[in-house]
Structure 1
């Protein structure tokens, strides 16, 4: 079983953890040290992806000159590995599943151009790639959930500074999404309405926490923000399945996501941040009660004992003040 990642299930909470044995080999790898972020274009593996190994691109977009502008390919150090078998077993009282799945990187060409610095059409290309690779993997055997995320900056976990997103297709459902799905389903059963639609209507009416809005999308600092300057980008129309988004709405999403990132980048002087997509599982079940969205979390603080021990996050600024500040940042 060497170098095969495992999914281990907690018997108390029911949540899963990934034990990715191929990503850290020795205890010394975990010693506290400054993260080595590759800054030099000459040494950057994403400036010439796949050049020194046998990985084949899963997606390539080209510009008018015929040069690649975006490329998706398998992660060189995957948390999940493709396999034709999904081994389930018990280890004492615990359930263990092989880490079967797909782990890809989605790379844009310009080494120094963050998403906040891109034009809308360049962000649209990234959204197109998210959808295309999602559709390409959602029906693969054993795949029940696809996570799409982007780490920007050292503090956000980016080991390579070259802008790139990641896509992980896996056999289990993300615990955070699972809680969100359950909450959405409970609200739907009690009120026969989408909880996110209700929240969006309320936010639009008050306008206190809205930082950007176009015809189809809204970006806001949530009333219950988990972190300072947290922003979420929602479709204003009810939509459960990200992969079904049409071209017009993708353009509007690119505009809204870009605007939110520009405001965070300008207002907070280029902070590290993570953003990720929360959408429905691809396990064939009905999740029409859910409302997909993107969440953006700037790295403005570090979790300490209280947050780690309770799971309750402390935001050091009211979302109303955060939104007021971000509104002032020009796009």
Structure 2
């Protein structure tokens, strides 16, 4: 376990100019965040050719976060190589959701429902400027996962928080705004639509078949072997039979677990092994592609979700959504999952 200094508490924001506004779509019921604190000038939205991130450490605000005006860390890990900090978690300087008094009451604006974007937005920063997760040791990745779990548990007790999303953007094409490796955590006062659909689908499958839908997937993938990417004692990674995009990978605990935050400590190194191997294979095969990964886990809104099975989804940016995908919501993958998995299995790391 990493050596750490104590977690610090949030200051409550009274700056309502920085609070985003949530607006509910009248047709779908989806909540959309209008995050004005992250606003840019019109010319900044214009496409300027290929996207590149500034790689010079001297210009990086995460080399010394506090010297660049960031808030004191909420959590700090230290080690022998970095006695000041090897990992730190800070509030996002430009949050999409802001901690404030109250839960953000829902009110009406014309025919629409609106509420304040009350929540949390944090950044988990690793120390090495040039070593992204695929290049770290298993111990280093375990440190990152431990921080995920610790911050998740620190926030889930807030009665206003209903769902906590942990995600990582690697590369400009995946939405990263800085070269320095970092993950993010956003806690929101509602259950996002994609999560709700996943919960409903899991419950429907259980009522029909008497077992967890993800456990059924895992069992078949392990038996069939064609789409396996990596496997250890406690975790399995595979390209889903129904892959939304080329080289999509999902990482599951083999035993049934609904809640990421309850993951036992002895599972962390095994998960780090699986995540690092997955990212390292992608990195080598696709020449350091942009990708996103995120943790899908049961909500923290109070009810129990025994039929859900938490997991990590890894999505390389191998294509962009064009007119058909945007117009229908239907995605097109350009490679069979079993072929993608074989390419990945054959990569030596």
Task: Count matched residues.
Answer: 331
1:24 shift after superposition: 1.2
2:85 paired residue among 68, 82, 102: 68
Verify: 1:202 aligned to 2:220, yes or no.
yes
In structure 2, distance between residues paired with 1:140 and 1:190: 35
Q: Provide Cα deviations, 1:293-312, integer angstroms capped at 9, x if missing partner.
A: 00000010011000011010
1:47 is aligned to: 63
Q: Secondary structure at the match of 1:315?
A: coil
In structure 2, distance between residues paired with 1:61 and 1:150: 19
Verify: 1:247 aligned to 2:265, yes or no.
yes
Q: Secondary structure at the match of 2:152?
A: helix
1:1-331 matches, within 5 Å, as 2-34=17-49, 35=51, 37-53=53-69, 55-65=71-81, 66-85=83-102, 86-331=104-349
Structure 1's unaligned 5+ residue stretches are none
1:25 shift after superposition: 4.0
Query: Does the 8 Å CA contact 1:144/1:283 hold for their aligned counterparts?
Result: yes
Structure 2's unaligned 5+ residue stretches are 1-15
Query: Does the 8 Å CA contact 1:36/1:159 hold for their aligned counterparts?
Result: no
Query: Does the 8 Å CA contact 1:38/1:159 hold for their aligned counterparts?
Result: no
**CA RMSD, 1 decimal:** 1.2
1:14 shift after superposition: 1.2
Q: Secondary structure at the match of 1:51?
A: helix
Q: TM-score, normalised by structure 1?
A: 0.97
Query: Does the 8 Å CA contact 2:18/2:98 hold for their aligned counterparts?
Result: no
Query: Does the 8 Å CA contact 2:70/2:93 hold for their aligned counterparts?
Result: no
In structure 2, distance between residues paired with 1:37 and 1:138: 33
Runs of 4+ in 1 over 6 A off after TM superposition: none
In structure 1, distance between residues paired with 2:143 and 2:68: 26
